[in-house]
C-alpha cells in the first residue's frame, strides 16, 4: 500500500529551526520526485519545495527560499525539510507529496504534520 | 507567483452538475497543460481528482471531469452526491519548476 507518513512537527519560537521527515512505503521512492506543500490554518494550499528523484536538483517557493532546504535519503526512503529562521507566517500543516510527473500533479499525499511558530 | 483565482463557494443539489473555475495567466494555466484538481475533506489530506487538465486517476468516478480554455481551467462534477461536499483546489505548473494553487472553493451539496 502506497503511503507517506510525515513527522517532526511541533511548536517552535520565531527564528528557530525544525526538521520534518516523510517516510515513504509501497512504491519505488528513488524513482519519483517529491514535494512539500503547506496549508496555513483555515487557508489554501501553498507549494513549498520540489526535489528530483535523485536529489540532483531542488526548487523552492520564493516565500521559503534561503530559509528551507529539501533533501532526501533514497536508501532510507525518506524525504526531509529543514526549516530555519522560522516566522509566524510559516505556521501550517506541512504535507509531503509524491510527484506524478513530468510537470503535473501530486498523486499521493501524507497525512500532514503541524508546525506552529509562536513565542 | 499569485494564487490562481477560484470562486469561494459553489453549491448544487444532489444529482445536479456544478462547475468550478480556476483562472490564471498565460504564465501558468494558459501556458501549460499541467492543471490538476484536488478534493479535500475537513481535517484530511488533499486527494488528486484530475491531472494534466482532463485525465482522471484510477478510482476517481467519471462524474468528475476537467477542461481548459485559455487562461481558465474548469472542474465539472455531474450527478452530485453528498460525499462530494468538500473543498476543491486547482493547481498549475507555473514554469521554472514552480507550481501555484488556487485559493480553494467550498462545494456545498444542498
SS (H, E, C) chain B: CCCEECCCEEEECCCCCEEEEEECCCCCCCCCCCEEEEEECCCCCCEEEEECCCECCCCCCCCEEEEEECCEEEEEECCCCHHHCEEEEEEEECCCCCEEEECCEEEEEC
Q: CA–CA distance from A89 to each of A93, B2, B42 (Å)?
A: 12, 17, 21
Q: What is the pLDDT of residues A19-71, one digit of tens each?
A: 999 999 999 999 999 999 999 999 999 999 999 999 999 999 999 999 999 99
CB distance from B3 to chain A under 8 Å?
Answer: yes
pLDDT value at residue B2: 84
Query: Quick one: average pLDDT of A11-26?
Result: 98
CB distance from B60 to chain A under 8 Å?
Answer: no
pLDDT value at residue A101: 78
Residue in B93, B97, B101 nearest the CB of A45: B101
DSSP state of A81: E
| Closest listed residue to residue A17, CA positions, set A51, A64, A75 | A64
Q: What is the mean pLDDT of chain A?
A: 97
Which residues in chain B are contacts of A110 at CB distance < 8 A? 45
Q: What is the pLDDT of residues B30-51, one digit of tens each?
A: 999 999 999 999 999 999 999 9
Residue of B99, B100, B101, B102 to mutate when probing chain A, most A C-beta within 10 A? B99
The pLDDT confidence band at residue B91, using thresholds 50, 70 and 90, is very high
pLDDT value at residue A64: 98
pLDDT at B1 over 80: no
CB distance from B64 to chain A under 8 Å?
Answer: no
Amino acid at each position: 500500500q502506497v503511503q507517506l507518513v510525515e513527522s517532526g512537527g511541533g511548536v517552535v519560537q520565531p527564528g528557530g529551526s525544525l526538521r520534518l521527515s516523510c517516510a515513504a512505503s509501497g512504491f519505488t521512492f528513488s524513482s519519483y520526485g517529491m514535494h512539500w506543500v503547506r496549508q496555513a490554518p483555515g487557508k489554501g494550499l501553498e507549494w513549498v519545495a520540489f526535489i528530483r528523484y535523485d536529489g540532483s536538483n531542488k526548487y523552492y517557493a520564493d516565500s521559503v527560499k534561503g530559509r528551507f532546504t529539501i533533501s532526501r535519503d533514497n536508501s532510507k526512503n525518506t524525504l526531509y525539510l529543514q526549516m530555519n529562521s522560522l516566522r509566524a507566517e510559516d505556521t501550517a500543516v506541512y504535507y509531503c507529496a509524491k510527484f506524478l510527473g513530468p510537470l503535473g500533479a501530486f498523486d499521493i499525499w501524507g497525512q500532514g504534520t503541524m508546525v506552529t511558530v509562536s513565542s | 507567483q499569485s494564487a490562481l483565482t477560484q470562486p469561494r463557494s459553489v453549491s448544487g443539489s444532489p444529482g445536479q452538475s456544478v462547475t468550478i473555475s480556476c483562472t490564471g495567466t498565460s504564465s501558468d494555466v494558459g501556458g501549460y497543460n499541467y492543471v490538476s484538481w484536488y478534493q479535500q475533506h475537513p481535517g484530511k489530506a488533499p486527494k488528486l481528482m484530475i491531472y494534466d487538465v482532463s485525465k482522471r486517476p484510477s478510482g476517481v468516478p467519471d462524474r468528475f471531469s476537467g477542461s481548459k480554455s485559455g487562461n481558465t481551467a474548469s472542474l465539472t462534477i455531474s450527478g452530485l452526491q453528498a460525499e462530494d461536499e468538500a473543498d476543491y483546489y486547482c493547481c498549475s505548473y507555473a514554469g521554472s519548476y514552480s507550481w501555484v494553487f488556487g485559493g480553494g472553493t467550498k462545494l456545498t451539496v444542498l
